[in-house]
Chains A and B, each alone.
Chain A
């Protein structure tokens, strides 16, 4: 009983106290960013993404790593290899296992919801595959999409990038049939930016971060939605910068936004506002070619991975004082309640 108190109370503390406090601090930082006079919603996307995902990922990574390193022998390796000392490792190992279990249960649910559209091999799908191949071959800017497209007949699917590490653009047969080559090429140019920037992976990581935090959606959901909207507008701008026709892309956007007859869709009118904003920007790009104001917006993921790696290493380098405190606190609480 006494051995289980720290793993159980520790996990509850991390999930119910540390993560919500982190979400609260992150919200404060995001609000400060939004209210700063030099802030523009279409800029600073990488920083905002790091804040949103880091609010859950970094505390969890630290506690997981600390749990692994905190063994009574002072060596996590001896915990794994030496049977005599293995018994001493029970509490931190149990704590880590409980946290990992919580992560997996939420993570599996999120990932299950995001299976990509299945590819089709019907005659019309093969015809579209050939059309895409020809279009990509004669459009140099779309070269990186060679071998990265799949054709799907999934009802209502328009066009989207899927796959966490191996990214592919899934093109809906029925949607593509409504587009001329110019519109389809512009839409593919938009998706190319998602492919280049590992956006499906980013979106899943963001959603995981929000889902793992008990207050994630409540406190940060609005900021995450705004980030996604801005990210889409950013991809429109990048597509135009890489040669896509702005008006063709705007038309493709509107075709993709039209619900098919078999779909039951009920998103709020604010999405229509976002669509109008994107179309408006593309109309503006048709008059004045956009300029790239700052960084290209693809460095965020690499930076996130580097920060995560540093966080994972830090308990090994700087000690596990916070977890020690949690451990002692849980045992004192137990003895106080038990006596």
Chain B
């Protein structure tokens, strides 16, 4: 799941690249209060081929973007999330809503229909909800 809601749009301070989004997804879904590069690597390397240095660079970028804070502990950094997922999404909401297409229906509909081309995206979102449900029920 990527939280790049408006990829390529300027002015979005909290814009995330795919790997940054995947990293934040790991942090938020596991509700980590503090973690190291190794913790993130252990989860991500189950999903993809990824090097320790790549995760380290990604966490550094997320720290610079203000999504993570860190403190030195011995020879390594201990990271913690600075924003909850909700706070991050609210911060991103302005860009999304400014780009919203105005529906002409006066009825308050549960959801506007989206283009047929985004069926794959709807599948991805459903899969994400399913995973989250399993995580919450399991944890």
Residue contact A41 to B125, C-beta cutoff 8 Å: no
B5 contact set on A, CB distance < 8 A = 273, 276-277, 280
With A161-B107, A230-B93 as contacts: A271 and B114 at CB distance below 8 Å: yes
B100 interface contact, C-beta 8 A: yes
Residues A22-60 near B (CB distance < 8 A)? 34, 39-42
**What residues of A have a CB within 8 angstroms of the CB of B105 in the complex?**
114, 160, 203
B39 at the interface (CB under 8 A from A): no
Question: Are the C-beta atoms of B109 and A254 separated by less than 8 Å?
Answer: no
CA distance A233 to B90 in the complex (A): 10
Q: Is A123 in the interface zone, CB < 8 Å from B?
A: no
Known pairs A225-B100, A225-B102; A190 contacts B110 (CB<8 A): yes
Cα A224 to Cα B86 with chains together (Å) = 24
Closest-by-CB residue of A relative to B25 is: A283
Rounded to whole Å, the gap between the CB of A301 and the closest CB of chain B is 13
Among the listed B85, B96, B113, which residue makes an inter-chain contact with A259, where contact means beta carbons less than 8 Å apart? B113
Per-residue A-contact encoding for B118-132, CB less than 8 Å = 1, 0 else:
110110011011001
Residue pair A41, B93 in contact (C-beta under 8 Å) = yes
Report if B92 contacts A (CB, 8 A): yes
0/1 interface trace, chain A 285-316, chain B, CB 8 Å (1 if under): 11110100000000000000000000000000
Judging by beta carbons under 8 Å apart, are B97 and A160 in contact?
Answer: no
Q: Interface digits, B95-106 against A, CB 8 Å rule (1 contact, 0 not)? A: 011111111111
Given A160-B107, A265-B113, A275-B114, A254:B126 Cβ within 8 A: yes
* Cβ–Cβ < 8 Å partners of B125 in chain A: 250, 254, 275-276, 279
The complex places the Cα of A268 from the Cα of B138 at a distance, in Å, of 37
Q: Which residues of B contact A235 (CB under 8 A)?
A: 108
Contact residue among B96, B102, B113 (Cβ-Cβ distance under 8 Å from A228): B102
Given contacts A191-B110, A252-B110, A254-B126, contact A259 B116 (CB under 8 A): yes
Chain A interface residue count: which class?
35 or more
Give the CA-CA distance A268 to B84 in the complex, in Å: 29
A34: chain B residues within 8 A (beta carbon): 94, 98
A260-275 interface with B by 8 A CB criterion: 263, 265-275
Whether A283 contacts B96 by the Cβ 8 Å rule is no
Q: Is B112 an interface residue (CB 8 A)?
A: yes
Closest residue to B123 on the A side, CB-wise?
A: A254
**CB-CB nearest in chain A for B118:** A272
CA distance A160 to B98 in the complex (A): 23
A126 within 8 A of B: no
- Cβ of B19 < 8 Å from any Cβ of A? no
User: Which residue, A207, A253, A277, A290, has most C-beta atoms of chain B within 10 A?
Assistant: A277
Q: Which residues of B contact A257 (CB under 8 A)?
A: 111-114, 122
Decide if A5 is an interface residue (CB 8 Å cutoff). Answer: no
Is B112 within 8 A of A271, CB to CB?
yes
Taking a contact as CB atoms closer than 8 A, the residue among B31, B108, B112, B128 that contacts A287 in the complex is B31
With a cutoff of 8 Å between Cβ atoms, the chain A residues found around residue B104 in the complex are 113, 207
Name the interface residues of A223-248: CB closer than 8 Å to any CB of B: 224-226, 228-230, 232-233, 235, 247
Q: A251-B129, A272-B115, A287-B28 are in contact. Are A159 and B136 (CB under 8 A)?
A: no
With A191-B108, A225-B100, A256-B109 as contacts: A277 and B89 at CB distance below 8 Å: yes
A96 within 8 A of B: no
Provide the residues of chain A in CB contact with B86, threshold 8 Å: 281, 284-285, 288, 290
For the A-B complex with A222-B98, A273-B99 known, give 7 more contacts whose Cβ atoms are closer than 8 Å. A40-B93, A41-B90, A247-B129, A257-B113, A269-B114, A273-B5, A283-B85
Which 6 interchain pairs have the tightest Cβ spacing?
A225-B102, A284-B86, A194-B108, A114-B106, A226-B97, A256-B111
| A interface residue numbers (CB < 8 A to B) | 34, 39-42, 110, 113-114, 116-117, 156, 158-162, 170, 187, 190-191, 194, 199-200, 203-204, 207, 221-222, 224-226, 228-230, 232-233, 235, 247, 250-254, 256-259, 263, 265-281, 283-288, 290
A-B contacts, 30 of them at CB < 8 A, read A40-B94, A41-B97, A42-B90, A113-B104, A114-B107, A160-B108, A187-B110, A203-B105, A203-B107, A203-B108, A207-B106, A225-B97, A226-B98, A228-B102, A247-B129, A256-B111, A257-B112, A257-B114, A265-B114, A267-B113, A269-B115, A271-B101, A272-B115, A273-B6, A275-B114, A275-B125, A276-B121, A277-B96, A281-B86, A287-B28
